């Protein structure tokens, strides 16, 4: 026998579904608009006539320009490098740090946890952080290039090594490790497992959902990273090390009116072409995240719940 839905419950469901549909449309619309602007006529794009579907004479010149742009793909490869190597590096030391902080036998555990959480409440600010990155770059230059000029090293490595710390993700992993039953660890110790074996054979397999979620967080932050990557590589004049987001921002500022730069009406055709190319770059830059996310999405809610809730 079907349960009769009360009026209040029906009203709540209708309102909830309406809001979910509106939210979904708001999320999908930017992608649809970028695709439409990518294939619309240059005049229509320059005159802001694109609203939803492609308008004017359909063209693929913008896509062809991006596909044939060596600078774009060099920046794209830089982003792939920073994202892949950076995510692995962040996961390694985040897992090791979270594993140590999850152990009650760790001397000074409460103090370490307090200082970790303290960084989530208060930040030193942009200037001290920039000076910290600069000093780290000089130290790396001293070690690997024998100089004090951080421009003498490939600063992609500085982005990988110095910009991966995230206290929130370490807390998620720590809480997930604390949720592993102690009896399993004790059984592994009785069988002669070392500390590293316990971590790799017990804790990591039992926390796959949280680790996949944290890897997604790290990967997206590195892929979308713009500000610090620009400040570090741009300050040293290493345009060849620019991630794709920094290259796109530079292209948009020079060739489009999307940043509010004044352009004359005579340049309308060039303006439309530049804007269409910029949207084509945006579309190509989104492809890896759109491809990877469906495979990790199944771990997302489970991972956040396991790592974010402490019993």
Within a domain: residue 8?
no
Tokens representing 271? Answer: 């303006």
Within a domain: residue 38?
no
Within a domain: residue 19?
no
Q: What total number of domains does the chain contain?
A: 1
Average pLDDT over residues 243-271: 70
Q: Which domain holds residue 140?
A: 68-308
Within a domain: residue 87?
yes
Tens digits of per-residue pLDDT, 288-310?
888 887 777 666 655 555 544 44
What was the pLDDT predicted at 308? Answer: 47
Tens digits of per-residue pLDDT, 6-38?
778 888 889 999 999 999 999 899 889 999 989
53, 31, 23, 28: which is closest to 41 by C-alpha? Answer: 53
What is the chain's mean pLDDT, rounded?
83
Tens digits of per-residue pLDDT, 79-117?
999 999 989 998 998 899 899 988 888 888 888 888 888
Average pLDDT over residues 47-56: 83
What is the Cα–Cα distance from 155 to 136, expressed in whole angstroms? 11
Average pLDDT over residues 240-245: 86
Within a domain: residue 57?
no
- For the beta carbon of residue 15, count every other beta carbon within 10 angstroms: 10
What was the pLDDT predicted at 23? Answer: 93
The CATH number assigned to the domain holding 153 equals 1.10.3720.10
Within a domain: residue 23?
no
What was the pLDDT predicted at 306? Answer: 52
Within a domain: residue 242?
yes
Within a domain: residue 17?
no
Tens digits of per-residue pLDDT, 161-182?
887 778 888 888 898 888 888 8
What is the Cα–Cα distance from 16 to 37, expressed in whole angstroms? 32
What is the Cα–Cα distance from 50 to 279, expressed in whole angstroms? 12
What is the Cα–Cα distance from 207 to 210, expressed in whole angstroms? 6
End-to-end CA distance of the chain: 38
Average pLDDT over residues 35-44: 87
Exposed (0-12), middle (13-18) or buried (19+): which is 101, by Cβ within 10 Å? buried
CA-atom Rg of the chain in angstroms: 24
């Amino acid at each position: 026998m079907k349960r009769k839905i009360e009026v209040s419950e029906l009203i709540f469901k209708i309102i909830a579904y309406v809001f979910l549909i509106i939210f979904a449309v708001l999320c999908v619309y930017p992608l649809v608009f970028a695709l439409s602007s990518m294939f619309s006529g240059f005049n229509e794009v320059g005159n802001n006539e694109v609203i939803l579907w492609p308008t004017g004479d359909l063209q693929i010149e913008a896509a062809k320009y991006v596909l044939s742009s060596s600078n774009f793909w060099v920046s794209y490869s830089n982003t792939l490098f920073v994202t892949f190597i950076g995510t692995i590096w962040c996961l390694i030391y985040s897992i090791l740090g979270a594993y140590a902080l999850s152990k009650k036998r760790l001397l000074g555990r409460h103090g370490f946890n307090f200082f970790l959480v303290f960084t989530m409440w208060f930040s030193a600010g942009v200037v001290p952080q920039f000076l910290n990155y600069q000093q780290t770059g000089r130290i790396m230059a001293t070690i690997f290039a024998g100089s004090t000029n951080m421009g003498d090293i490939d600063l992609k490595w500085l982005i990988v090594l110095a910009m991966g710390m995230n206290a929130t993700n370490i807390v998620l992993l720590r809480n997930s490790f604390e949720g592993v039953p102690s009896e399993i660890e004790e059984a592994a110790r009785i069988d002669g497992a070392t500390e590293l074996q316990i971590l790799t054979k017990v804790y990591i397999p039992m926390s796959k959902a949280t680790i996949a979620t944290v890897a997604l967080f790290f990967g997206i932050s590195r892929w979308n990273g713009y500000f610090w990557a620009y400040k570090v590589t741009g300050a040293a004049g290493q345009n060849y090390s620019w991630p794709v987001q920094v290259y796109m921002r530079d292209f948009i500022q020079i060739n489009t009116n999307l940043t509010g730069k004044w352009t004359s009406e005579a340049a309308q055709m060039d303006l439309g072409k530049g804007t269409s190319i910029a949207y084509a770059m945006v579309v190509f830059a989104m492809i890896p995240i759109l491809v990877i996310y469906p495979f990790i999405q199944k771990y997302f809610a489970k991972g956040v719940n396991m790592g974010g809730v402490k019993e």
